[in-house]
């Protein structure tokens, strides 16, 4: 697909990042998936090359590049040569901006340099055993004790949960208002902060997903992010970009699945001819290409809107919904075109299929996306 949305500098950045992935990530992908976690040192290697939080100001050690195209480049290359379970994008582009937008000068000075270097790995903890998309349903509580808060609760399905050194934890701060939520910076080693299992998952095997427990954790006032009554607003602010990030990643996985399938059907012979000579195969691949190209055009448009500060929650929901559904259809058809080989883990399309199933659930399920879009149509 011919795309003219990237500058020469961004393409040079792509080449450099691709070389990094081919050297540092691709050779280790299988062992990380078996281990169920990416080594902490990989965040430091990313930091050494300046690939973490590239938007951060130079005073903290960042590159000062607040252009989402660069993150899009990284996610596209991750899909080709990286590993979907290496959650540096969550660290850099989902959690890090909470410090940028809502942190104090002291908090930014204390945490950002170590986050940019990869010495401090980030996570955000919202989901609970009985509360997912509906944040008003969370049960975690933080009680104000004057010079500190006491945090109690449990979180689950937390990405980077084992590796994380700093976790942004959402907890209710009012017994009367279910939408009054605070965000608390919980650091590794705080008394009462414990980690549970590294949860076994259908896909994304190398990404550490954990249970977190907070039992009378003493949170100093300097570890409260912004206003302790406005956490719900803070979380909502980042959702549009989170869903765009998701869409870009889903599309990268779909494109890669399509490419490995194209190579497979050109080599695989049926009735003495390459599978790619069969009309059924040719038409199916053509149909997949159409869906991918249309999805790519919309994602590229949304990135332009994001850079201009004009990306709406509705547009992001459309991108998240449509691209995750396209990814699901593409990877499913790609497995089918592989035949029995598609069911074998030694074939790349197999684990890309299982990795893709979560796309229609996390960062807001397809059903939630439809509700957001419906509200933009009907006003409620």
Q: How far apart are CA 257 and CA 328, in angstroms?
A: 11
The label of the residue with tokens 């080709």 reads 80
The answer to whether 9 is a known catalytic residue is no
Neighbours of 368 (CB within 10 A): 17
**81 closest CA partner among 205, 260, 207, 202:** 260
Task: Read off the tokens for 73.
Answer: 């480049």
Give the sign of the dihedral formed by CA 48, CA 90, CA 87, CA 328: negative
Helix (H, G, I), strand (E, B) or coil at 378: helix
Q: How far apart are CA 363 and CA 320, in angstroms?
A: 9
Q: How far apart are CA 380 and CA 369, in angstroms?
A: 14
Q: How far apart are CA 291 and CA 294, in angstroms?
A: 5
Query: What is residue 128's DSSP assignment?
Result: B
**CA distances (Å), 361 to each of 10, 132, 195, 355, 358, in order?**
31, 10, 24, 12, 5
Rounded to 10 degrees, what is the CA torsion of 64, 69, 71, 75? -160
Long-range contacts of 185-188 (CB under 8 A, 24+ apart): 185/107, 185/111, 185/219, 185/223, 185/224, 185/225, 186/125, 186/151, 186/214, 186/217, 186/219, 186/223, 187/223, 188/164
Q: How far apart are CA 254 and CA 291, in angstroms?
A: 10
Task: Read off the tokens for 334.
Answer: 């790609």
Asked if residue 196 lies in contact with residue 239, where contact means CB atoms within 8 angstroms, the answer is no
Q: How far apart are CA 198 and CA 191, in angstroms?
A: 20
Asked if residue 168 lies in contact with residue 123, where contact means CB atoms within 8 angstroms, the answer is yes
Catalytic residue among 76, 77, 128, 242: 242
> Catalytic site residues?
242
């Amino acid at each position: 697909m011919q795309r003219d949305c990237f500058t020469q500098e961004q393409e040079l950045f792509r080449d450099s990042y691709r070389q990094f992935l081919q050297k540092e990530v691709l050779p280790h992908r299988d062992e990380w998936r078996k281990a169920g976690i990416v080594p902490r040192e990989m965040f430091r290697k990313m930091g050494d090359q300046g690939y973490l939080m590239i938007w951060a100001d130079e005073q903290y050690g960042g590159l000062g590049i607040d252009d989402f195209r660069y993150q899009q480049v990284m996610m596209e290359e991750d899909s080709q040569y990286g590993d979907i379970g290496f959650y540096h994008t969550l660290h850099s582009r989902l959690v890090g901006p909470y410090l940028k937008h809502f942190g104090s000068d002291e908090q930014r000075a204390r945490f950002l340099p170590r986050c940019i270097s990869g010495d401090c790995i980030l996570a955000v903890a919202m989901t609970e055993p009985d509360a997912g998309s509906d944040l008003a349903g969370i049960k975690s509580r933080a009680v104000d004790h004057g010079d500190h808060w006491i945090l109690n609760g449990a979180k689950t399905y937390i990405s980077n949960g084992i590796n994380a050194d700093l976790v942004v934890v959402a907890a209710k701060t009012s017994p009367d208002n279910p939408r009054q939520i605070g965000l608390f910076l919980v650091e590794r080693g705080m008394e009462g902060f414990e980690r549970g299992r590294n949860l076994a998952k259908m896909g994304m095997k190398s990404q550490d997903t954990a249970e977190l427990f907070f039992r009378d954790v003493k949170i100093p006032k300097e570890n409260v992010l912004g206003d302790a009554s406005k956490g719900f607003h803070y979380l909502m602010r980042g959702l549009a970009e989170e869903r765009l990030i998701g869409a870009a990643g889903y599309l990268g996985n779909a494109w890669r699945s399509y490419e490995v399938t194209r190579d497979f059907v050109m080599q695989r012979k049926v009735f003495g001819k390459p599978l790619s000579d069969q009309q059924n195969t040719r038409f199916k691949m053509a149909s997949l290409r159409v869906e991918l190209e249309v999805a790519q055009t919309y994602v590229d448009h949304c990135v332009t809107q994001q850079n201009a500060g004009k990306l709406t929650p509705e547009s992001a929901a459309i991108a998240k919904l449509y691209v995750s559904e396209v990814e699901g259809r593409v990877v499913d058809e790609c497995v089918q075109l592989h035949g029995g080989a598609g069911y074998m883990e030694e074939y790349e399309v197999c684990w890309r299929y299982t990795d893709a199933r979560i796309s229609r659930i996390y960062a807001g399920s397809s059903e939630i996306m439809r509700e957001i879009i419906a509200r933009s149509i009907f006003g409620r």
